[in-house]
């Protein structure tokens, strides 16, 4: 029991850390719409999720490549700055939480003290683009740079040679920065680790490093590889002392069909190290002095299906991955921990204004690193449903009603060994300008 509670404690703190580190909502960038005169629907299937045109624009380095990308072609008053924020009411409920008064359900709800995203992105010259996203700005918290990178595009005139340097989001099967859901109980597979693992490497977290992206015309075939120093690692002494790598390859086909109008398949994999020891002083870890790197990995595939007309699609996403954490990452483990998981997401956009969406996330542990742990310890199921209705959108601004409910069950996570459940209700106005 002692060992188990320790594991739970670690798992719990990892979870808390994960939630704290979960990147804020990010990008729908009206500055681009202003620059190119397009409404948000041109680039976004339903903002902030990109469509094929928006993806190609992003892959081209925020360029249309029609001689109007250089900042000198814009009016002098143009500033590549957008702001997105989401005033909302959020109600949270967590069951089977241990208190001095026994196992209780904890509730909290408020008009959230939201932060905001300053989205600064554009071109510095032809084929050199940038994105800087200061985020936070909430009371009691500072401002952090969620993203800050410079990208050199079309090196040597080839769309297969694009290099990004800085803090960037890796090329996820479904970008958690540009998705419809706003509650943070989704995309569990991105940040999941075998119970007890000390690694908090999260695919959804922006990483500091270098990314190479290559794509064909229209970005139907594309590949991205990021090499980085794992974000959040306590071992950071030098640029790549906690190295990680992530790669994603996709291919998309468009069909001359009103049934299945497009299909995309992709494969992705990551390997990220994490220190398992650290130098100490008075038994306290010395920051930045971790060592004995051990790895965790994930490998999986993603499939996207677009049903119905391209402009008002039902978009089905299936993502599956197998994950593994080295036993050394898990205290008391005698073997590597493994797990499988993924999600199925469906978003239907019957009109340019309205999107209904739902997602089912699942995590199933395979081998527990600690043999005594029950097989299903920390297995998770999460369901999310919601609606976004954009009241108005132009090439200048957009604002939408966002309503979302999500629920997540974590097996055997409570102190008494029972399951816990977290429910979140989210109701707000999401706007960007």
Partner 1 sequence: MRGIWCTGLGLVLLTVAASADEQAGNPARGKAVYGRYCVSCHGERGDGAGESAQYAMPRPRDFRQGTFKWRSTPTGSLPLVSDLERTIRDGVYWTMMPSWYPLSRRARLDVIAYLQTLSPRWKADQPGEPLAIPPEPSRTAESVARGRAIYDMQKCAQCHGDQGAGDGPSAKTLADEWGDPDPPFDLTKGHMKGGSTGENLYLVFMTGLNGTPMPSFAETIKPDEAWDLVHYMQSLGARKPTTP
- The residues that touch partner 1, with contacts defined as CB under 8 A, are 33, 36-39, 41-42, 52-53, 55-56, 64-68, 75, 126-127, 154, 157, 217-220, 254-263, 303, 305, 307, 309-312, 316, 318, 344, 352, 362, 394-396
Residue 88 or 264 having the CB closest to partner 1 = 264
User: Closest approach of Cβ 42 to partner 1, in Å?
Assistant: 5
CA–CA distances in Å: residue 68 to residues 40, 63, 64, 161, 233: 18, 8, 7, 21, 41
Residue 95 or 312 having the CB closest to partner 1 = 312
User: Closest approach of Cβ 226 to partner 1, in Å?
Assistant: 23
User: Closest approach of Cβ 326 to partner 1, in Å?
Assistant: 26
Residue 50 or 356 having the CB closest to partner 1 = 50
Give the C-alpha separation, 401 to 171, whole Å. 28
Count of alpha carbons within 13 Å of 231, Cβ hemisphere only?
A: 24
Give the C-alpha separation, 49 to 47, whole Å. 5
Residue 274 or 339 having the CB closest to partner 1 = 339
Residue 279 or 311 having the CB closest to partner 1 = 311
DSSP string, 385-419: EEEEEEEEE-SS-EEEEEEEEEEEEETT-STTS--
Let me know: does 171 contact 177? Beta carbons within 8 Å. Answer: no
User: Closest approach of Cβ 316 to partner 1, in Å?
Assistant: 7
Let me know: does 195 contact 7? Beta carbons within 8 Å. Answer: yes
User: Closest approach of Cβ 423 to partner 1, in Å?
Assistant: 23
User: Closest approach of Cβ 41 to partner 1, in Å?
Assistant: 5
Residue 32 or 201 having the CB closest to partner 1 = 32
End-to-end CA distance of the chain: 53
User: Closest approach of Cβ 306 to partner 1, in Å?
Assistant: 10
Residue 127 or 273 having the CB closest to partner 1 = 127
Give the C-alpha separation, 300 to 55, whole Å. 21
Residue 150 or 254 having the CB closest to partner 1 = 254
Give the C-alpha separation, 157 to 375, whole Å. 53
CA 354: distance to chain centroid? 23
Tell which phi-psi region holds residue 389, choosing left (phi > 0), alpha (psi between -120 and 50) or beta.
beta
Backbone angles phi, psi at 419, to 5 degrees: -80, 155
Residue 81 or 103 having the CB closest to partner 1 = 81
User: Closest approach of Cβ 376 to partner 1, in Å?
Assistant: 14
Tell which phi-psi region holds residue 415, choosing left (phi > 0), alpha (psi between -120 and 50) or beta.
alpha
Residue 19 or 155 having the CB closest to partner 1 = 155
Give the C-alpha separation, 180 to 169, whole Å. 17
User: Closest approach of Cβ 309 to partner 1, in Å?
Assistant: 6
CA 193: distance to chain centroid? 15
Give the C-alpha separation, 360 to 406, whole Å. 10
User: Closest approach of Cβ 222 to partner 1, in Å?
Assistant: 12
Please give the DSSP secondary-structure letter assigned to residue 25. P
| Structure tokens given for 116 | 């905001």
């Amino acid at each position: 029991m002692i060992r188990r509670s320790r594991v739970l404690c670690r798992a719990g703190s990892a979870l808390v850390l994960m939630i704290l580190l979960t990147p804020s909502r990010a990008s729908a960038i009206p500055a681009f719409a202003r620059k190119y005169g397009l409404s948000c629907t041109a680039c976004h299937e339903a903002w902030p999720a990109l469509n094929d045109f928006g993806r190609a624009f992003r892959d081209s380095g925020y360029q249309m490549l029609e001689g109007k990308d250089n900042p000198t072609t814009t009016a002098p008053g143009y500033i590549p700055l957008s702001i997105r924020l989401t005033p909302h009411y959020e109600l949270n409920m967590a069951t089977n939480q241990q208190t001095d008064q026994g196992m209780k359900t904890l509730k909290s709800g408020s008009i959230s003290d939201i932060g905001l995203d300053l989205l600064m992105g554009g071109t510095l010259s032809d084929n050199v683009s940038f994105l800087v996203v200061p985020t936070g700005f909430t009371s009691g918290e500072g401002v952090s740079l969620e993203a800050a990178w410079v990208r050199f595009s079309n090196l040597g005139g080839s769309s297969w040679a694009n290099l990004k340097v800085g803090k960037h989001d890796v090329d996820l099967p479904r970008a958690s920065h540009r998705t419809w859901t706003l509650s943070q109980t989704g995309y569990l597979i991105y940040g999941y680790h075998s119970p007890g693992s000390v690694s908090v490497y999260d695919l959804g977290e922006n990483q500091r490093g270098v990314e190479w992206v290559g794509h064909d015309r229209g970005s139907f075939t594309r590949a991205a590889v990021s090499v980085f120093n794992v974000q959040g690692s306590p071992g950071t002494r030098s640029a790549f002392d906690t190295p990680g790598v992530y790669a994603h390859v996709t291919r998309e086909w468009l069909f001359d069909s009103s049934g299945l109008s497009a299909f995309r398949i992709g494969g992705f994999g990551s390997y990220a190290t994490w220190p398992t020891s650290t130098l100490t002083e008075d038994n306290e870890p010395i920051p930045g002095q971790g060592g004995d790197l051990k790895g965790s990995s994930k490998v999986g595939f993603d499939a996207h299906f677009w049903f119905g007309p391209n402009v008002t699609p039902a978009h089905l996403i299936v993502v599956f991955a197998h994950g593994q954490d080295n036993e050394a990452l898990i205290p008391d483990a005698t073997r590597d921990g493994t797990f499988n998981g993924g999600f199925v997401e469906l978003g239907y956009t019957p009109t340019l204004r309205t999107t209904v969406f739902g997602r089912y996330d699942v995590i199933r542990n395979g081998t527990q690193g600690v043999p005594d742990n029950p097989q299903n310890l920390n297995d998770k199921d999460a369901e999310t449903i919601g609606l976004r209705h954009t009241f108005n959108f132009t090439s200048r601004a957009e604002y939408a009603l966002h309503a979302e409910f999500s629920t997540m069950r974590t097996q055997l996570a409570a102190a008494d060994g029972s399951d816990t459940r977290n429910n979140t209700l989210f109701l707000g106005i999401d706007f960007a300008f």
